[in-house]
Each structure stands twice: as C-alpha cells, then as structure tokens.
Chain A
Amino acid sequence: MPLTWLILFLFALAALGFIAGRVRAVNSAGGDVRELHSLPNYYGWNVALTALVPALAVLVVWLFVQPLMIERSVSGMIPEELIPEGSQRSLVMSDVRRVAHGLDMAVRQGALSEDDASDIRAGFTDLRGRLADVGVALGSDVRPEVLSAAQRYRQLNATGTLWQSIIVAALALGGLTLAYTRTHKGFRARNVVERAILALLILAASIAVLTTLGIVLSMLFETRNFFGLHSWSDFFFGTTWAPNFRGDSELSILPLLWGTLYISFIALAVAVPVGLFAAIYLSEYASAALRSFAKPLLEILAGIPTIVYGMFALLTVGPMLVNFFGRGPDGVLGVDWMSGATSVLTAGVVMGIMLIPFVSSLSDDIINSVPQSLRDGSYGLGATQSETVRQVVLPAALPGIVGAVLLAASRAIGETMIVVMGAGAIAKFSLNPLESMTTITTRIVSQLTGDTDFASPETLVAFALGLTLFVLTLGLNILALYIVRKYREQYE
C-alpha cells in the first residue's frame, strides 16, 4: 500500500530531520549549548515540523481532491444516451468504479497482466466472468463505454497516486533541506516552533466548528436536492407519510412530528415528576449517607447505552404492557386495547426511565444553588420544610428547572434506539398511547439503512428530517442554556 509507505517515509524523514537539526545546531555553537538561541531540541523540532507539516497537509488535501477531479473527468466520458431511463449518472459512475476496482483486483491476483487490464476490450473477452473469478460481482455485462471509462479511471488514478507520492516526498525533502540549512546557533528556533504549535492548536479548535459546518452544509445540500424533487409544502404541511418506490410517495413530516412529540411528552411525564422529587429529596432531606449512595446509583441509569433501553422496551416493557392492556380475556385487565409490544406508551415509559437521572441531577444542581439564606428566612417565619421547598425554593429555582426540562425534552426528541425498537413504524395521528406510532428519528434510520440511492426523494427526505431534528434540538438547547445561564447569574 503506497499510502502507508508514504506516510511512514514522512515520519522517518521527520525523525531523521530532528536528529540532524539538533546535531547541526549544537555543532554550530561549537558544542557549547549556552551559545544557542533556543534549547537544542527546538532546532530538531523545527526541522522535523518543517519537513512533516506542509507535506502532510498537501497529502490530506490531495486525498480529498483527487477523487473529485477524477470523477469529474471520467464522468464526462459517459455519453448521455448511455444512462438508462430513470437512472442516474452517479449509478453508472459507481459501475465504472466497480469495474476499475475489479481490474485492480484481477491484476493484483495475477489473473490479468497490467497491459491486459488497460488494453482489454469488452467485446472480445468475458470480462464479467473473469472479474467474478477474482471476487467482484457485476450486475450486468460490461458495456464498452463503461469499460473504457473504467480504464481511464484506473489510468488517472495511477498517475494521480504517482504524482502525489512525488510531490509530497519532494515537499518533505525540500522542507527538510530548507530548515536544515537555516539551522544556526543564532536562529530563533523556539519562536518558530511555538508559532507552528499554536497554529496546530488553532486548527484543532476549529475542527469543532468544521463539524457543525459539515453537519449543516451536508444536510442543507441534500435537503435542497430533496425539495427539488418533492414539494416543500407537502413536506411541511401534508398529513400523510407513505413512502413507496413507484414515485408517488407522500412524505410529510407532520405525522412523524406528532409521534415524536407524543412519545417525548409521555417520557417527560414519567421523568419530570420522578426526577424532580428525587432531586428535591436528595438535596433538601437526604442524609449524607443516603445521598452518597442513591445519587451515583441513579446516575448509573444515565450511563446505560440506549440500545439496552431499546431491548428493555421491546422485550420486557412492551410484552408486560400487552399483558395488561391486550390479549382480551387472557390479559390481566381482560381488555383488548393493545395488539403489539411496540407502542407510544412502551417507548415513552422506557425513555422516561432513561431521562430520570438527567432531570434529577440537573435539578439537583439548580436547587443546591438556591442560597441558604432564602431557606433560613422561610424557616424563620415558621414554615415547615416542605412549605419552604414548595413556596420558596422551587419558585426561586423554577427558571433553572424549566431549562433542565427543556434539555431533557431535546434529548427525548433526538433519542433514536428506544423508539426504533419500541415505538413501531406506523405514521399516524392518534391520541391512543397503546397504538404504535413512528418518529422522526426512526424514519431517518429506516430511510437511510440498506441500499440508499441518493437520487430518490425517499432517501433524501431523511436529510430534510435530520435538518428539522437538528434545528429543533438546537433551538431547545439554546433556549435552555440561555434560561439556565440567566438564572444562575441571579444569585451570584
């Protein structure tokens, strides 16, 4: 693998440069380290970094750009009439890539010689069969245009990789020589190295921003594509979610939003009272021993992966609810209101359990930050402890608690595994909590797993859903953080 070797070469060169630079600096000072401007190691680092960093940067950029350039150039070789009705240029391109990959494999395994691979003609040899022999299965016979495009693809790739190695290696060697010749006892190596390190630190800090940008841009881009294929008014204001592959899908977010909000509501109805009362008890009443025992135990609930809660919903809570509310005369209540284990209630209750520690630890912090003087004042007037909590502490902590609940709501809306496993797949408007419904996150998962074709509205709708989810949770978070921060300042 030339890339691995190239990277190893760069690092070896850097290590060499470090030693060489250090030795040269010490020699230039005649072996007396006090003569140097900086500590000897800085001269070494200077050479190593000058050799390594620009070369690595160019390599990374090259790795991103080369596929795009080759794609564009090869894609132009495919004539318009070759693209089948109802298909996409990108699908033909993926054929091209697969054939090129197959030829690579064949050459590597010795089934084809390098010359054969670039001269082969589709008409003369059974290429599909030969590629199948080396483990690359093709859906149909290779058409001549696709084959020549694949050969061009391979050729460009090979040239690109060759130039990549040459340029990157040259850059590294150039940097090494430059830094090495500049190494002298008067050279301000430390300043240069520290500036380079600072630049690297800034780069690392901006990755967080890049991630957000990546999220927003990738989703915006695909969402725009989606709205090019599907009317936005149907997406936002339609009432039916019915994807199908005949091309007349009805993709509307409203029923999904309803399911999401309903499940989140039930989850909060479980988590908020339990979490809040637990927080009140732990911060106002509990002895130190109980607190140090119960608080970490409750917080374990927050550390359990959501897949575990999903299993719990699907295999334990769901069947238990069916036992109560379903199965007709065999059930506990003798009613037949619930047919399957997946339902709004199942997902909601389990999600509520997951959110208990979330609500309780956030509210705990907030209740603890209410100044003791307020409580003392209330006790002084003769209020009991519970009256103090209800009439003094809670009103004082209310904005913070609202913030905590909003944060919990945003978690509930974005939660995926519990609803994927516990909520079901039927998109509808219903008030019955025993029916299965579906949510935004489950639909994202089901539209994007398996074979995804990035040209159909049924796939692209997931990006519109994702963007809506992102905006929704982001809005809730910002609001919650704003409320919490504003409240915290009140007593400081």
Chain B
Amino acid sequence: MSDATQNPGQSAGNPIGRAGSLLTKNARTRRRNAAEKRFRLYGLTAIGIGLLMLIVLVTTIVGNGTGAFQQTFVTLKVDLLEAKLDKKGTRDIEAIKKVSTFGYAPLINGALQTYVTEHGIQTDLKPKAMGAILSKDTAAQLRDYVLENTDKIGQTLEFTFLANSRVDGYLKGRVTRDSIANDKNISAEQLDLVDAMIANGAIDKTFNLDFILGGDASDQRPEAAGIGVSMVGSMYMMLVVLALSLPIGVAASIYLEEFAPKNWLTDVIEVNISNLAAVPSIVFGILGLAVFINTMHLPMSAPLVGGMVLTLMTLPTIIISTRASLKAVPPSIRDAALGVGASKMQSVFHHVLPLAAPGILTGTIIGLAQALGETAPLLLIGMVGFVASNAPDSIVDGLMSPNSAMPAQIYEWAKRADPAFYERAWGGIIILLVFLVAMNTIAVILRRRFERRW
C-alpha cells in the first residue's frame, strides 16, 4: 500500500520520505490520500449498489405489476333471444338449464355482429372469430346471469364482459402487432376490430376490483384470475399462526427468562431455539409433510396445516424478541413486586408481562410478516397446483378445505409461463408487499409509541 521502495528518487537516504515542507504534499502522502479516497469510494459504491438494487427491484415490481389492477372490458348489448334460451316460453328453470353454454355463444357473437354493422365497422371476420376477443368464460357468465334472472329473457340488455387476455395485453402494450405474428389466439384483423371498438367506446380499460377480491382462474383465462381467495387462505393461516405461536412463544420465553434454572436442560432448549431460527424454511415443509400429513392424515393444502408449519417457523423469532423485551424490564420492578408480597408468578404476570407487551407485540407482528411472505414450506404441503377459485363458506371450511396462500398463488402464476399471468404475479407481489409494509409500519409505530427507556 504505502511501500516506500516503489517510489525511487525521493526515498533515497530518507526513509520517512519527507524532503520538503509539511505544507506541500509529497508523492507518498498524495498516494495515501488517494488510497483513502478510493477506499471511501468503494464504500459509497457498495451502499450505492445496495440502494440501486432496491430501486431496481421496486421499479420492476411497480412497473410490471400495476397493469394487473386494470382490466379491459367490452360493453355489448346482447339480445337474450327467447327462441334460443326458452323455446317453449314457459320460463321453466329446468328447461332453461338445458341450454348449455354453447347455446349462449351465438348470442354473444351475434351481439358483436350487430355492433359491427350498427357502427359501420369494416371487417372480414366471421362472428365466431369476433367472439374470440372476449374471455373464454363469457358464455358461462351470461348463462349464470340468465339462470338467475329468467324474467329478463327476450330483452336486450347491456353487459360488460371481460376481454380476452391478448386484447387486454394489446391495450396495455404487452401485445403488439409484431408480437402476434405467430400467435394463433389472436390475429391482426381482430386487433383492427378492437381498435375500431375502442374508437367507439365499447372497449375500455378500467380499475379491476376482481383482481383483488376474486379467485384464481384456469390457465386458459388469465383475465379472470384474482388473488382474493388466496388472500383469504393467507388470512386463515395467519390466524392459526397467531393463535398458536403467540401463547406458546410467550409462555416459553417467560419460562426461559424468568423461571428456568441454569442447568443442561435449559441450555439444550436455548441452543435449540437459536438453531431452529436458522434452519432453512424448506426443512419445516418436509417436517409438515412427514408429520402433519403423512402421519396425522391432516388434509393436504389446508390452511390449518400451513399455519402449523409456519408456526413452528415463527416460534423462534417470537421467542427471541419476547425474551429480549422481558430482559429489558428492569429487575427493580420484579423486586418491588416481590417486596410487597406478590408471588414470583404474580410479579411476572401482573407487572413484567404488561410492561413487556409492546415489545412482544412488535416481535409478533414482525414474525407474522415473515410467515406471510414464506413460500417454500407451502409448496411441500400442497398449497400450489390447483385452482383456488372459491372462497370458503365457514371458519371450519376455511381452515380445513384446500386453499392457496398469497405467495403460493404468485408462484403458481409465475409457473404458468404466460405473460398475462406474469402480470398477475407482479400485481400479486404488490399486494403482498402492501401487507408486509403495513405490518412492519404498525410494528415500528408501536415500538416508537410505547417503547420505554428505563
């Protein structure tokens, strides 16, 4: 670094290397100062890289994900022809049910046809090809509506349908005329039709509440997929985690911090807890699969099992933070309680625990946030790989019937290898991060507001 022999001419006969005035910097000082500057620069660069990565990550997420909150809808006037839907005109629900979704498709295609002729749009497309700009689910959606409102048969009503994911992508700029050259799902003529319909106001992009509240859809219909049901699944899992890990974690910490004698057994427990905190999450998934599902025959994919696995994972976090906040309560409090005649148990439960509560709560929220974002163990207990499309009806159902969780749902979408689902996955990440940020903010506020300095 500062090797004098590398600087001939100046060091000869003067090992310190200072030949002139202190006020002029000689070559060696300059080099040392340069090294100092470089070193600082490395440090700043490192911080810069870290912050840059954060910015890149956030902009990627926001840039790719905001699209999921908007969806393209097509507004059409559909003639609910009595001749097609209820030939006898009896409005008998059983008879109407006999008309399958195939019977409804022509109505929708006809509506498009009417629209095109009414607005004088030039197109060579067959009605069926026109129908392809709508979601594959449209006919079923219309059928459900008719079955519920049989009195509307024979009328012409305005409906808002989901557009196909390619059309949606076209409006969002994900699909372009160049990119569809080899796409058999949509053609340039269909995009011409879409352009004309946009000009006439029949196709529009609006806020999509169904993405936040709705359930997953099959991989043919990315436009209908939502994260709501898996959010409910995550919520049930967090309930299980909270109900199990908070009491167990607090009880364990109280024992270890306040009552445990110093012996080999408590040592074993302590070493155990600190090691459990560092066990890879996937190992907890293996444990869950082997013990909860294979041995105890609990249902696969159930939020109860997911919650139990995540509980085991969160326990060490909660125990460590609870012990820290119990330790922060000064011994004088305990002594005072004991001094006025409280038992050890009373001093802990009546005095120490309430004072440590804000810290415990903060640690619990942070542990829950960690559990909320965890994916790997959920893969092993089967919370991916099926379509979580219906929200559970009751609490028991919510705990025991198969569901997904937010991160598992995101992974599921990322696996489907369709840009439309990628957009959903990024959108899902935004929602997940909103939850995490909210939880962490609450934790920070709690800490700021209730933290006591003794």
Q: A residues touching B (Cβ–Cβ < 8 Å)?
A: 1, 4, 64, 67, 97, 190, 194, 197-198, 200-209, 211-212, 214-215, 218-219, 221-222, 273-278, 280-282, 284-286, 294, 297-298, 300-301, 303-308, 310-312, 314-316, 353, 356-357, 360, 384-387, 389-390, 407, 410-411, 413-417, 420-421, 441, 444-445, 448-450, 452, 454, 462-463, 466, 469-470, 473-474, 477-478, 481
Contact = CB atoms under 8 A, between A and B. Distances in A.
Interface stretch (B38-46, B114-122, B182-190, B446-454): B38-46
B224 to A, nearest CB: 21
B247 interface: yes
Contacts of A449: 379-380, 382, 384-385
Given A414-B282, A417-B411, A449-B384, A306 B376 contact: yes
Interface residues on B, range: 35 or more
Interface in B243-279: 247-249, 251-252, 254-256, 259-260, 268-269, 272-276, 278-279
Contact of B35 (A200, A300, A386): A386
B211 interface: no
B125 interface: no
B307 to A, nearest CB: 15
Given A204-B248, A308-B433, A278 B46 contact: yes
Contact of B50 (A221, A278, A390, A466): A278
Contacts of B104: none
Nearest to B248: A204
Contacts of A297: 50-51, 54
A64 B298 CA distance: 11
Given A198-B255, A312-B60, 17 more contacts: A198-B259, A205-B252, A206-B269, A207-B315, A208-B319, A218-B290, A221-B290, A274-B46, A275-B46, A301-B57, A307-B375, A310-B411, A385-B36, A386-B40, A407-B278, A441-B280, A470-B279
B425 interface: yes
Contacts of B247: 204
B436 A384 contact: no
Nearest to B373: A305
B26 interface: no
A478 B275 contact: yes
Contact of B278 (A1, A280, A420, A477): A477
Contact of A64 (B268, B296, B344): B296
A302 B297 CA distance: 35
A211 B315 contact: yes
B208 to A, nearest CB: 20
B360 to A, nearest CB: 14
B282 A215 contact: no
Contacts of B316: 208
Contacts of B51: 294, 297-298
Q: Could you tell me the dominant secondary structure of chain B's interface residues?
A: helix
A466 B56 CA distance: 34
A124 B35 CA distance: 93
Given A205-B256, A218-B287, A305-B432, A278 B414 contact: no
B343 A194 contact: yes
A421 B255 contact: no
Contacts, number: 260
Contacts of B64: 315
Contact of B290 (A190, A278, A306, A463): A463
A137 B422 CA distance: 34
B414 A311 contact: yes
A276 B2 CA distance: 23
Contact of A281 (B38, B44, B379): B44
B42 A277 contact: yes
A456 to B, nearest CB: 14
B440 interface: yes
Interface string B381-424: 01011000000000010000000000100110010000000100
Interface string B216-246: 0000000000000000000000000000000
B35 A356 contact: no
Given A201-B255, A280-B43, A360-B50, A473 B286 contact: no
Contacts of B43: 277-278, 280-282, 284-285
B53 interface: yes
B227 to A, nearest CB: 13
B39 A386 contact: yes
A70 to B, nearest CB: 11
B53 A301 contact: yes
Which of A207, A274, A384, A454 has most chain B Cβ within 10 Å?
A207
Contacts of A294: 47, 50-51
Interface in B282-338: 282-287, 289-291, 294-297, 312, 315-316, 319
Nearest to A195: B345
Query: What are the 10 A-B residue pairs with the smallest beta carbon separation, nearest first?
Result: A414-B280, A281-B43, A305-B373, A277-B46, A204-B251, A386-B39, A416-B376, A201-B255, A218-B290, A205-B252
Contact of B297 (A67, A286, A301, A386): A67
Interface in B333-376: 343-345, 369, 372-376
B47 A281 contact: yes
A70 B361 CA distance: 43
B439 to A, nearest CB: 10
Contact of B275 (A203, A212, A301, A310): A212
Contacts of B289: 448, 452
Interface in B2-51: 2, 32-33, 35-36, 38-40, 42-47, 49-51
Contact of B283 (A205, A273, A469): A469
B187 to A, nearest CB: 26
21 contacts: A198-B255, A205-B252, A211-B312, A218-B290, A218-B291, A277-B47, A282-B43, A294-B50, A305-B436, A353-B53, A384-B33, A386-B40, A387-B36, A411-B278, A420-B376, A445-B379, A469-B280, A470-B283, A473-B279, A474-B279, A481-B274
Contacts of B429: 307-308, 311
Contacts of B290: 218-219, 221-222, 463
A1 B255 contact: no
Contacts of B280: 413-416, 441, 469-470, 473
A411 B280 CA distance: 7
Nearest to A276: B46
B283 A208 contact: no
B68 to A, nearest CB: 13
A190 B46 contact: no
B202 interface: no
B442 interface: no
B61 interface: yes
Contacts of B276: 208, 211-212
A473 B54 CA distance: 28
Given A360-B50, A444-B282, A463-B286, A201 B44 contact: no
A380 to B, nearest CB: 16
B32 A387 contact: yes
A314 B315 CA distance: 31
Contacts of B249: 204
A8 to B, nearest CB: 13
